[in-house]
Amino acid sequence: MATTFPEGFVWGTATSAYQIEGAVREGGRGVSIWDRFSHTPGKTENGDTGDVASDHYHRWRQDVGLMKELGLNAYRFSIAWPRIIPDGSGAANQAGLDFYDRLVDALLAAGIEPFPTLYHWDLPEALYDKGGWLNRDAAGWFADYAAVVSSRLGDRVRRWITHNEPFVAAFEGYALGSHAPGLNDPKAALQVAHHLLLSHGRAVPILRQNSEAGAQVGIALNLSWVDPASERQADVEAAQRFDGLLNRLFLDPLFRGAYPADMLAYAGPLAPEVEPEDLLQIATPIDFLGVNYYSRAVVADDPQGGPLGARQIVPPYAELTEMGWEVYPEGLRQLLVRLHQEYHPAALYITENGCAAADRLQDGRVHDPQRIAYLSAHLAAAHQAIAEGVPLRGYLVWSLLDNFEWAYGYTKRFGLVYVDYATQARVVKDSGAWFRQVATANALP
Ligand code: IFM
388-435 confidence digits (pLDDT tens)? 999 999 999 999 999 999 999 999 999 999 999 999 999 999 999 999
How open is the CA angle 421-425-426, to the nearest 5 degrees?
A: 105
**DSSP result, 394-419:** EEEEE-SB----GGGTTS-B--SEEE
- Residue 172 φ/ψ, nearest 5 degrees: -70, -35
* pLDDT surpassing 90 at residue 1: no
Task: Give alpha helix (H) positions in 324-401.
Answer: 329-343, 369-387
Mean predicted confidence (pLDDT) in 278-302? 98
What pLDDT score was predicted for residue 272?
98
Residue with CA closest to ligand 1 atom 9: 405
Please tell me the distance between residue 234's alpha carbon and the centre of ligand 1 in angstroms. 31
- 398: Cβ below 6 Å to ligand 1? yes
Cα separation, 230 vs 32, whole angstroms: 43
- Residue 220 φ/ψ, nearest 5 degrees: -110, 120
Residue among 337, 350, 219 at smallest CA distance from 293: 350
- Catalytic site residues? 165, 352
Q: What is the per-residue pLDDT across 355-377, written as a single tens digit (0 to 9) for each?
A: 999 999 999 999 999 999 999 99
- 18: Cβ below 6 Å to ligand 1? no
Check: CB of residue 179 under 8 Å from CB of residue 169.
yes
User: Quick one: CA dihedral 390, 377, 409, 304, positive or negative?
Assistant: positive
Check: CB of residue 337 under 8 Å from CB of residue 385.
yes
- 162: Cβ below 6 Å to ligand 1? no
Cα separation, 257 vs 280, whole angstroms: 6
- Residue 243 φ/ψ, nearest 5 degrees: -60, -40
- DSSP letter assigned to residue 75: E
What pLDDT score was predicted for residue 187?
98
Residue 284: Cβ-neighbour burial (10 angstroms; 0-12, 13-18, 19+): middle
* pLDDT surpassing 70 at residue 141: yes
Please tell me the distance between residue 396's alpha carbon and the centre of ligand 1 in angstroms. 12
- 322: Cβ below 6 Å to ligand 1? no
Check: CB of residue 405 under 8 Å from CB of residue 421.
no
Please report, as a single letter, which amino acid is at residue 134: L
Residue with CA closest to ligand 1 atom 1: 405
Split into its structural domains, the chain has a count of 1
- 349: Cβ below 6 Å to ligand 1? no
What pLDDT score was predicted for residue 80?
98
Q: What is the per-residue pLDDT across 231-255, written as a single tens digit (0 to 9) for each?
A: 999 999 999 999 999 999 999 999 9
Residue 359's region, left for phi above 0, alpha for psi from -120 to 50, else beta, is: beta
What pLDDT score was predicted for residue 19?
99
Q: How far is CA 63 from CA 58, 364, 368, 428, in A?
A: 10, 18, 20, 11
Q: How far is CA 35 from CA 114, 188, 342, in A?
A: 26, 21, 39
Residue among 165, 180, 303, 179 at smallest CA distance from 224: 165
Atom of ligand 1 lying closest to residue 356 CA: 9
| 217 three-state secondary structure | strand
From 16, 78, 371, 402, give the residue whose CB has the most ligand 1 atoms within 8 Å, as the site to mutate.
16
Please tell me the distance between residue 277's alpha carbon and the centre of ligand 1 in angstroms. 32
Q: What is the per-residue pLDDT across 14-41, written as a single tens digit (0 to 9) for each?
A: 999 999 999 999 999 999 999 999 999 9
| Average pLDDT of every residue of the chain | 98
Check: CB of residue 353 under 8 Å from CB of residue 244.
no
Check: CB of residue 405 under 8 Å from CB of residue 18.
no
Kindly report whether the global pTM for this prediction surpasses the value 0.95.
yes
Atom of ligand 1 lying closest to residue 292 CA: 6
- 410: Cβ below 6 Å to ligand 1? no
Please tell me the distance between residue 174's alpha carbon and the centre of ligand 1 in angstroms. 17
Q: How far is CA 418 from CA 54, 79, 375, 426, 429, in A?
A: 10, 23, 16, 6, 6
**Residues with Cβ < 8 Å from 11, sequence gap 6 or more?**
71, 72, 73, 74, 394, 395, 396, 435, 438, 439, 442
From 38, 165, 398, give the residue whose CB has the most ligand 1 atoms within 8 Å, as the site to mutate.
398
Cα separation, 125 vs 240, whole angstroms: 36
From 406, 410, 412, 414, give the residue whose CB has the most ligand 1 atoms within 8 Å, as the site to mutate.
406
Mean predicted confidence (pLDDT) in 374-384? 98
From 352, 397, 401, 404, give the residue whose CB has the most ligand 1 atoms within 8 Å, as the site to mutate.
352
- 353: Cβ below 6 Å to ligand 1? no
- 165: Cβ below 6 Å to ligand 1? yes
Residue with CA closest to ligand 1 atom 2: 405
What pLDDT score was predicted for residue 2?
76
Check: CB of residue 353 under 8 Å from CB of residue 293.
yes
For residue 193, the enclosing domain spans 3-444
- 292: Cβ below 6 Å to ligand 1? yes
- 54: Cβ below 6 Å to ligand 1? no
Residue with more model confidence, 2 or 72 = 72
Q: Where residue 440 sits, what CATH number does that domain have? A: 3.20.20.80
Give the pairing type, strands 226-228 and 417-420. unpaired
Residue among 351, 381, 121, 347 at smallest CA distance from 225: 381
